[in-house]
Structure 1
């Protein structure tokens, strides 16, 4: 546990809109983790007309992502997290290294409303999936964050599609329901045939301690879910017993006189 003063880094909330008596909200995270106040923080708003086409970027190569997995889906007090086997890995895409999967988690709004962390041209999606990877030579995220490019996170947006068929029956208990909308026959649901356009930038973790060690790959094509499925996440609870809603860090804008810029690159597969 890391602490500064009388408050601990564990005493934080990522509820972007509601106050919690016992937790520190996103605006005050720098009081428990100073890196959260630095200048390369995530998430960001991606302005498409300002992105730079990078011909060094190539498709992301997925390994082990079609394998059947057995894992636990947990409420860690801040979000839904699924630990992944490190045989699932990514490479290519000008990442420079092979990265092995560690876990995935989600950020969402309230009752299917806006809740993604990143935005594109100011548009906020209902939910965002983050798949966290580390360089193969590291044994944990804690080791990897000491390397400026030690962590690679894939970001996927979810969008409401009223015509999307439910992956599983809503009567299934909440824990299994969450599993069903992420997995089908124990395989992770990703739009593998629609990954031809993504955005790349160097940023940070979006939870304390906000380490600036993340190579972000944000895919533009959103994954469809029904409004009912997205709304189901709002029935979960934070560790203080309040509704688990608005679980996103706000867009990190310039809040001081320090110069800040992001080099956001675009990959478009012709």
Structure 2
């Protein structure tokens, strides 16, 4: 019975295939055929490259890299008003080029350009990257480009022109008030090309506190949407952002351009192809009694005979 189902499903896809724009598996229909992720590489050459994103991170295989020090966030607390837009594939917010990141093993300073999200179906699995096979409900991408560039297209011609900071979300029993402005704006961008002005917000309020951002993974990859340009330095932070069920479900109210619910807007994980994933030292900032205890432990350790 299972084999028959697979044969019928294969026949269905063969019958329904046709030319069209790129899309996610969840928005494909026979009435509106489009190129699902497994076909992106046929239409967009780079999508079949050797350094594609997202990936599954196997934590035990990630190598510790002492160069992956804490990031230096500049102007991340800066409040701004910006346009929120349903671009037909996600919800995207263009940000003023004021906020920058440096350190964290990056070769230079990068400035924030925009952020967008990827999610599942009503709070179900939906992150693009996975950790040891676990898929989180949602993933935030804050896209940066090298400070010297004025537009993303130019930055993407540099093999390390773009740096994306990725954050996972976890389901929480309580509301995350810091996300009120984002979640409330969604009802005004239900349809593709719908846009609205975001009430004053900052990048800092969307992500965990800076002291909780010392544990992260790093690898070289690509954009996760066509054209899949391999010019991205990826950073994925371990500490997730809490949202409650209602907040997570609000994203599933958006619509793709064909009117279908915007759910499952994530690309499946791609082969690692020999790439190495690195992890930071995860420096913990101690204070008070914890610092005193750690100092004593080190002192006692040093006093032990060899």
TM bin, normalised by shorter chain, reads 0.7 to 0.9
The structure with the larger Rg is 2
Aligned counterpart, 1:196: 214
Q: Deviations over 1:9-60 (max 9, x none)?
A: xx111x2445232321111001221110111100000000000000111111
Offset at 1:187? Answer: 2.1
Does the 8 Å CA contact 2:140/2:168 hold for their aligned counterparts? yes
Cα 1:184–1:196 change in 2 (3 A) is: farther
Select the structure that is richer in helix. 2
Q: Distance in 1 between matches of 2:213 and 2:187?
A: 29
SS at 2:256 equivalent: coil
Cα 1:48–1:82 change in 2 (3 A) is: same
Aligned counterpart, 2:235: 217
Aligned counterpart, 1:153: 164
Aligned counterpart, 2:22: 12
Paired residues in the alignment total: 253
SS at 1:211 equivalent: coil
Offset at 1:176? Answer: 6.2
Cα 1:7–1:149 change in 2 (3 A) is: farther
| Uncovered stretches (5+) of structure 1, i.e. residues with no partner | 1-5, 255-259
Consecutive aligned runs of 4 or more in structure 1 exceeding 4 Å deviation: 169-173
| Uncovered stretches (5+) of structure 2, i.e. residues with no partner | 1-17, 191-197, 285-306
Aligned counterpart, 1:65: 76
Offset at 1:215? Answer: 0.1
Q: Distance in 1 between matches of 2:200 and 2:85?
A: 19
Aligned counterpart, 1:264: 277
Is 1:174 the counterpart of 2:186 in the alignment? yes
TM-score (norm 1): 0.87
RMSD: 2.3
Q: Distance in 2 between matches of 1:266 and 1:170?
A: 30
TM-score (norm 2): 0.77
SS at 1:217 equivalent: strand
Q: Distance in 2 between matches of 1:230 and 1:171?
A: 9
Aligned counterpart, 2:54: 43
Structure 2 matches for 1:49-128, cutoff 5 A?
Answer: 49-128=60-139
